[in-house]
């Protein structure tokens, strides 16, 4: 079963092409990550799927609906965590959950959801007295209280300290065990790796890679060999470092030269991603 299918999606804001031809599919029960730097078009893509924005071109189906003209059940079946929102500062955690539960035909038990997102000790605390991390957990609880089939999480841990991030990850993992389909955006590489079944890497409005985190990270990584000749730095990238190094050094030995500042190193995973974001031309 396909939960979300996106084909040839485009969206511009005036002269700015925010999304330039995006295709992907998300299976029911899958946790799918959209990974990319700020301004890559992740939020625009997600907000089109949530029904907030109209697309300029392309085909979109979300739970069998066109989000621009959703059927009556569409909003019963989705849960949304926005990048930033502040829910009813003067209500308590429990009251906010009850308020949102009232909007749905078949809500989950409110107290159960509060336990699920780890706010049971703050149940009767007003929202304005919660910490930033607790407010994000409230956002997640409210997104789950309608018992949705599909949950959108837009940068759910931005601004968290490491401990709060790890706690949020645990919660998002628990969504998978509830059988929810999750679309998650993030600009943290480790977050996508930790949470997503599959990851699409976005850059400048396009998807440059799609795959499981393992597929993405096991992609062949070229080794970098650097040295200096006549004061100029030379960089060779190769998948066969032994052979290249042997040729370089034997030639140098034959000439009686020293390879100045010779260095051989393997780029880190982080650098591979940064290279995807910065150098590679997006696949057409």
Partner 1 sequence: MRLFAHQLRTEQRLYWRSRESAVFTFIFPLMLFLLLGSVYSGRIYGVPASQALLAALLAYGCVMVAFAGLAITLVIRRESALLKRLRATPLPPATFVAALVVSTLVVFTIQVVAMFLLGRAVFGTPFPHRVGSIVLIVVLGVACFAALGVGLSGVVRSAEGSSAVINLIVLPSAFLSGAFGPTQHYPAFLRDVGKVLPLKYLVDLTNAVYLHHHAFWSKPGAIGVLAAWGVAGLVLAALKFRWEPRES
Binding site for partner 1 (CB under 8 A): 50-52, 75-76, 78, 80, 82, 84-88, 90-91, 95, 99-100, 102-105, 142, 146
State which H helix or E strand residue 226 sits in. Answer: strand 223-229
Length of the chain: 284
Query: Considering the complex, what minimum distance in angstroms separates the CB of residue 102 from partner 1?
Result: 4
The sheet with strand 206-211 has its strands ordered as 78-81, 150-154, 181-186, 31-35, 198-203, 206-211
Query: Considering the complex, what minimum distance in angstroms separates the CB of residue 128 from partner 1?
Result: 10
Quickly list H helices, 145-224.
162-177, 189-195, 213-217
Cα–Cα dist 159/132, whole Å: 8
Question: Which of residues 67 and 133 has its CB atom nearest to partner 1 in the complex?
Answer: 67
Query: Considering the complex, what minimum distance in angstroms separates the CB of residue 52 from partner 1?
Result: 7
Query: Considering the complex, what minimum distance in angstroms separates the CB of residue 126 from partner 1?
Result: 8
Cα angle value 118/119/124 (rounded, 5°): 160
Query: Considering the complex, what minimum distance in angstroms separates the CB of residue 106 from partner 1?
Result: 11
Question: Which of residues 86 and 190 has its CB atom nearest to partner 1 in the complex?
Answer: 86
Question: Which of residues 99 and 217 has its CB atom nearest to partner 1 in the complex?
Answer: 99
Query: Considering the complex, what minimum distance in angstroms separates the CB of residue 216 from partner 1?
Result: 30
Cα–Cα dist 112/90, whole Å: 22
Question: Which of residues 51 and 213 has its CB atom nearest to partner 1 in the complex?
Answer: 51
Cα–Cα dist 165/99, whole Å: 27
Let me know: does 27 contact 2? Beta carbons within 8 Å: yes
Question: Which of residues 104 and 188 has its CB atom nearest to partner 1 in the complex?
Answer: 104
Question: Which of residues 108 and 198 has its CB atom nearest to partner 1 in the complex?
Answer: 108
């Amino acid at each position: 079963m396909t939960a979300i299918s996106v084909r040839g999606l485009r969206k511009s804001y005036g002269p700015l092409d925010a999304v330039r031809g995006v295709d992907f599919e998300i299976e029911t029960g899958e946790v799918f990550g959209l990974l990319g730097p700020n301004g890559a078009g992740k939020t625009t893509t997600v907000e089109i799927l949530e029904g907030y924005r109209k697309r300029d071109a392309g085909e979109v189906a979300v739970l069998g609906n066109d989000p621009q003209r959703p059927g009556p059940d569409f909003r019963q079946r989705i849960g949304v965590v926005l990048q930033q929102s502040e829910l009813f500062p003067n209500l308590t955690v429990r009251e906010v959950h009850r308020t949102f539960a009232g909007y749905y035909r078949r809500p989950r038990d409110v107290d159960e959801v509060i336990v699920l997102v780890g706010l049971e000790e703050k149940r009767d605390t007003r929202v304005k007295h919660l910490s930033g991390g607790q407010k994000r957990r409230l956002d997640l609880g409210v997104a789950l209280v309608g018992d949705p089939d599909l949950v959108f999480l837009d940068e759910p841990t931005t601004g968290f300290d490491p401990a709060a991030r790890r706690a949020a990850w645990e919660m998002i993992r628990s969504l998978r065990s509830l059988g929810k389909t999750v679309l998650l955006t993030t600009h943290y590489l480790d977050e996508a790796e930790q949470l997503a079944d599959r990851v699409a890497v976005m850059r400048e409005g396009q998807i440059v890679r799609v795959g499981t985190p393992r597929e993405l990270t096991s992609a062949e990584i070229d080794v970098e060999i650097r040295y200096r000749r006549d004061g100029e730095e030379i960089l060779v990238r190769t998948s066969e470092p032994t052979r290249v190094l042997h040729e370089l050094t034997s030639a140098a030995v034959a000439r009686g030269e020293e390879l100045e500042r010779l260095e051989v190193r393997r780029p880190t995973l982080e650098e591979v991603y940064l290279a995807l974001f910065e150098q590679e031309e997006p696949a057409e």
